[in-house]
Amino acid sequence: MAAIPRGKQVVQPPREEPLPGWTFLTNHGHVLVCIARDGDLRISQIADMVGIGERAAHRIVGDLVRDGYVQRRKDGRRNVYAIDFSRPLRHPLEADHTIGEMFRALLGGPRPRRGG
């Protein structure tokens, strides 16, 4: 390995492993991402994807249904979920934005052009 000249900065390659600790979205947000990608998921699949227990996933889905962010309908013995993307974000700092705006960015919808 070559010596680094004095006064030069070392640039590290981007990290490939996930960063430990905290994330920008809560578990409620992660559950919404799962449902937005596939409304036919079972609670156990949502729990596995988010990294939480089934009881926690069931409680979170119940919260989201109760507050109008997710609609649940029966299809035979299974539940099918749909998101109401017109609902506002819940914190006062973001309340003038909808979850639809957030999901367009997260799930690859139209993106604003840079620098223009």
Q: What global pTM score does this model have?
A: 0.75
Residue 82 in contact with residue 39, Cβ under 8 Å?
Answer: yes
Residue type at position 88: P
Summarize the chain as % helix, strand, coil (round to 5): 35, 10, 55
pLDDT of residue 23: 87
| pLDDT per residue as tens digits for the range 49-88 | 999 999 999 999 999 999 999 999 999 999 999 999 999 9
27-106 CATH: 1.10.10.10
Tokens of 64: 């989201």
Residue 72 in contact with residue 60, Cβ under 8 Å?
Answer: no
Predicted confidence band of residue 108 (pLDDT cuts 50, 70, 90):
confident
| pLDDT per residue as tens digits for the range 3-31 | 555 655 555 566 666 667 888 899 999 99
CA-wise closest residue to 60 among 43, 77, 73: 43
Report domain extents, the chain: 27-106
